[in-house]
Amino acid sequence: MQIPTRLWIGGEWVDSDEGSTFPVRNPASGDVLAEVQEARAADVDRAVAAARAAFVASEWRDIGPHERSALLWRLADLIEANADELATIETHDNGKPYFEARRIDLPSVVENFRYFAGMADKIHGATIPVSGPFLNYTLREPVGVVGAIIPWNFPLSQAAWKVAPALACGNAVVLKPAEQTPLTALRLGELATQAGVPPGVLNVVPGFGETAGAALVRHPGVDAIAFTGSTPVGKTVMREASETLKKVSLELGGKSPNVVFADADLKAAVRGASTGIFYGKGEVCAAGSRILVERSIYDDFVGELASRAESMTVGDPMEKTTRLGAIVSEEQLERVLSYVEAGKSEGARLVTGGERTDVNGKGYFVTATVFADVESTMRIAQEEIFGPVAAVMPFEDVDDAIAKANDTIYGLAAGVWTRDVGKAHRFAREVQAGTVWINTYNRYDSASPFGGYKQSGFSRDLGYEAALDKYTQTKSVWVALDD
**Which residues are catalytically annotated?**
251, 285
How many angstroms separate the CA atoms of 20 and 9, rounded?
16
Which part of the chain contacts ligand ADP (CB under 6 A), choosing from 73-81, 165-173, 204-212, 434-442?
204-212
**Residues contacting ligand ADP: total by CB under 6 A:** 18
Neighbours of 63 (CB within 10 A): 20
Q: Which is nearer to ligand ADP, 143 or 238 (CB)?
A: 238
Q: Does 424 bind ligand ADP (CB under 6 A)?
A: no
Q: Does 214 bind ligand ADP (CB under 6 A)?
A: yes
Q: Which is nearer to ligand ADP, 413 or 468 (CB)?
A: 413
Q: Does 343 bind ligand ADP (CB under 6 A)?
A: no
Q: Which of 217, 241, 302, 336 binds ligand ADP (CB under 6 A)?
A: 217
Per DSSP, the residues of 430-462 read HS--SEEEES--S---TTS-B--SGGGEES-BS
Q: Does 230 bind ligand ADP (CB under 6 A)?
A: yes
Q: Which of 176, 247, 423, 470 binds ligand ADP (CB under 6 A)?
A: 176
Q: Which of 213, 254, 325, 363 binds ligand ADP (CB under 6 A)?
A: 213
Contacts of 245 (CB under 8 A, 6+ apart): none
Give the closest residue to 73 by CA, choosing from 32, 119, 28, 127. 119
Q: Which is nearer to ligand ADP, 98 or 152 (CB)?
A: 152
Task: Rounding to the nearest 10 degrees, give the CA dihedral for residues 38, 2, 321, 177.
Answer: 30
Which part of the chain contacts ligand ADP (CB under 6 A), choosing from 10-18, 19-27, 175-183, 192-200?
175-183
Contacts of 226 (CB under 8 A, 6+ apart): 146, 147, 148, 149, 162, 166, 249, 470, 471
Q: Which is nearer to ligand ADP, 198 or 253 (CB)?
A: 253
Least distance between ligand ADP and beta carbon 41 (Å): 12
For helices 183-195 and 83-94, give the axis angle rounded to 10 degrees: 160
Q: Which of 11, 151, 200, 457 binds ligand ADP (CB under 6 A)?
A: 151
Cα–Cα distances in angstroms (integers) from residue 314 to residues 11, 183, 307, 388, in the given order: 40, 24, 14, 11
Q: Which of 10, 165, 209, 411 binds ligand ADP (CB under 6 A)?
A: 209
Q: Which is nearer to ligand ADP, 90 or 179 (CB)?
A: 179
Give the closest residue to 289 by CA, choosing from 339, 247, 249, 334. 339
Least distance between ligand ADP and beta carbon 333 (Å): 13
Residue of minimal Cβ distance to ligand ADP: 209
Q: Does 219 bind ligand ADP (CB under 6 A)?
A: no
How many angstroms separate the CA atoms of 434 and 461, rounded?
11
Q: Which is nearer to ligand ADP, 329 or 418 (CB)?
A: 329
Backbone region of residue 22 per phi and psi (left: phi > 0; alpha: psi in -120 to 50; beta: other values): beta
Q: Which is nearer to ligand ADP, 237 or 259 (CB)?
A: 237
Q: Does 233 bind ligand ADP (CB under 6 A)?
A: yes
Which part of the chain contacts ligand ADP (CB under 6 A), choosing from 229-237, 274-282, 301-309, 367-375?
229-237
Site string for ligand ADP, 235-274 (x = CB under 6 A): -xx-------------------------------------
Q: Which is nearer to ligand ADP, 72 or 226 (CB)?
A: 226
Contacts of 331 (CB under 8 A, 6+ apart): none
Beta strands in 207-294 (DSSP E): 224-228, 247-251, 257-260, 290-294
Q: Does 178 bind ligand ADP (CB under 6 A)?
A: yes
Q: Which of 179, 223, 251, 461 binds ligand ADP (CB under 6 A)?
A: 179
Q: Rg for the chain (alpha carbons), in Å? A: 23
Around 175, how many Cα atoms within 13 Å sit in the side-chain half-sphere?
A: 37
Least distance between ligand ADP and beta carbon 229 (Å): 3
Contacts of 346 (CB under 8 A, 6+ apart): 375, 378, 379, 380
Q: Which is nearer to ligand ADP, 97 or 209 (CB)?
A: 209
Least distance between ligand ADP and beta carbon 256 (Å): 16
Is-contact 242 256, C-beta < 8 A? no
Least distance between ligand ADP and beta carbon 222 (Å): 12
Which part of the chain contacts ligand ADP (CB under 6 A), choosing from 9-17, 35-43, 122-130, 206-214?
206-214
* Angle, CA of 328, 335 and 160, to the nearest 5°: 35
Q: Does 300 bind ligand ADP (CB under 6 A)?
A: no
Parallel/antiparallel/unpaired status of strands 369-372 and 349-352: antiparallel
Parallel/antiparallel/unpaired status of strands 472-480 and 32-37: unpaired
Least distance between ligand ADP and beta carbon 246 (Å): 12
Which part of the chain contacts ligand ADP (CB under 6 A), choosing from 9-17, 37-45, 73-81, 173-181?
173-181
Query: For residue 176, what are the β-bridge partners?
Result: 149
For helices 464-471 and 155-168, give the axis angle rounded to 10 degrees: 70
Which residues bind to ligand ADP, rule: CB under 6 A? 149-152, 176, 178-179, 208-210, 213-214, 217, 229-230, 233, 236-237
